[in-house]
Chain A
Amino acid sequence: GAGVSQTPSNKVTEKGKYVELRCDPISGHTALYWYRQSLGQGPEFLIYFQGTGAADDSGLPNDRFFAVRPEGSVSTLKIQRTERGDSAVYLCASSLPSGRKYNEQFFGPGTRLTVL
């Protein structure tokens, strides 16, 4: 079956603009994660969804970042008033429900965001 997909693969925008990044998880995966990977760094956790609700958004850096998953499948990460420091690769991952044990997270190819 298809893996996690993310669109667009690349996004170039200007400082101050609004962007949306989309993630399509593996069918049947109720857990969905967003990570951000800056140049030379490992991925950093942003937010986790279990179903439609955000179970933990403690990794979102500030209130310019927001994510939704209205039907429990596709998720959109939204960034308002982009800044040059937001430039990074944004990774999405999905897994079977994560309760008291870890289920393998399957990663998408990422969206490379460049803010000029």
Chain B
Amino acid sequence: AQRVTQPEKLLSVFKGAPVELKCNYSYSGSPELFWYVQYSRQRLQLLLRHISRESIKGFTADLNKGETSFHLKKPFAQEEDSAMYYCALSGGAGAGGTSYGKLTFGQGTILTVHP
């Protein structure tokens, strides 16, 4: 079974401070990990995925298979980063054993960046 755990429901930091949102997962195969974000009154959207190895809006996330973690980091938080963040894992075998992108989400972390 696949599972995603985000241990912090709430995280508050001040503008300019570093921020780290934690995510741990369990999965028997080779996972694809993602971070999704939902800003106030907007729909859920993809922030970044581990295979892209890119920085989006200053955020990065490294997949650590040894620790089964995929923490999201940003060195200097901005007020506009305040949002709900979900860590998600892609996996699931369809007919023939192909993976089709079914997402398993964590419970989410509400990030508040204070001025």
- Which residues of A are at the interface with B, using a C-beta cutoff of 8 A? 3, 31, 33, 35, 40-45, 48, 50, 55-56, 91, 95, 98-110
Are A110 and B100 neighbours in the complex by a CB distance under 8 Å?
no
Known A45-B104, A56-B94: A100·B99 in contact at CB below 8 Å: yes
| Interface SS of chain A | loop
Are A56 and B44 neighbours in the complex by a CB distance under 8 Å?
no
Are A56 and B106 neighbours in the complex by a CB distance under 8 Å?
no
Are A42 and B101 neighbours in the complex by a CB distance under 8 Å?
no
B57 in the interface (beta carbon within 8 A): no
Residues of chain B lying within 8 A (CB to CB) of residue A107: 43-45
Are A100 and B103 neighbours in the complex by a CB distance under 8 Å?
no
Residues of chain B lying within 8 A (CB to CB) of residue A33: 101-103
Q: Kindly state the separation between the CA atoms of A29 and B6 in the bound complex, as whole angstroms.
A: 30
